[in-house]
Structure 1
């Protein structure tokens, strides 16, 4: 299985998905967070971001359907390995994506980017370990986005 890296994603021109007829048109003025909707850890993380993203700078969509599936395919992302964040027309994964989420949320959340000093090869190994074990450690739900509140589910694209 190939592992997409942030370096691989830098080869894509900004907003390249706009020229891909398989990617549905969407409002890309906000960041879009594409996540595994069966993963309890992922859903909990999305709920946390929604709760603290007071400016609503980030939109959310499932990797298993529609827009999320098309964006993952466009960028060659295996949603079972990582989530995808698209912001400013550029794709981000793993910890690079989390740092970009912190920037998008602004305010005190931007302070989290201080951890950017830790090299990607370390951060990505930690991320990969958790991603490989997330269902075993945190659980899996057959009902999409079960851990989100009805208000949070309404915010999904």
Structure 2
């Protein structure tokens, strides 16, 4: 494991788009900077509670991605941009999105989040990591 405290990505575990995003991060994060928790998992619910969010409210309308970094919880486009920055390399180009007003970025984010099940589908249950990746999932 890395010698730094990894950031935690909370994701909608039944969303195909979110699961694809997690797989993308795993492929491009060989150092293990990020770890993961499905919003529907016990660990995900505990992290939400610890940061003052009601798991029931999130479960009713789950965000596709939240990022816990340095004790702070990021959501919407801020979470995605910080993840891209954390991946480094060519993925940092995505941080140019910060030139857009936050309201615009978040509107785009919410539009995609609102339609993600229709466009990408959903699974009956959360994905299970393979044994090699199990340590990166809470």
| TM-score scaled by length of structure 2 | 0.82
Match of 1:61 in 2: 37
State the SS of the aligned residue for 2:90: helix
State the SS of the aligned residue for 2:35: strand
Aligned-CA RMSD value: 2.0
Contact (CA 8 Å) 2:12, 2:62: kept in 1 or not?
no
Contact (CA 8 Å) 2:13, 2:19: kept in 1 or not?
yes
State the SS of the aligned residue for 1:32: strand
Stretches (4+) displaced over 3 A:
none
Match of 1:7 in 2: none
Alpha-carbon offset, residue 152 of structure 1:
6.8
Q: Which runs of 5+ in 1 are unaligned?
A: 1-27
Match of 1:35 in 2: 11
Contact (CA 8 Å) 2:17, 2:116: kept in 1 or not?
yes
- Work out which of the residue numbers 75, 97, 106 in structure 2 matches 1:115: 97
Match of 2:109 in 1: 127
Alpha-carbon offset, residue 101 of structure 1:
0.7
Greater shift, 59-68 or 101-110, is seen at: 101-110
Contact (CA 8 Å) 1:54, 1:105: kept in 2 or not?
no
- Following the alignment from structure 1 to structure 2, what is the Cα–Cα distance between the partners of residues 113 and 75? 27
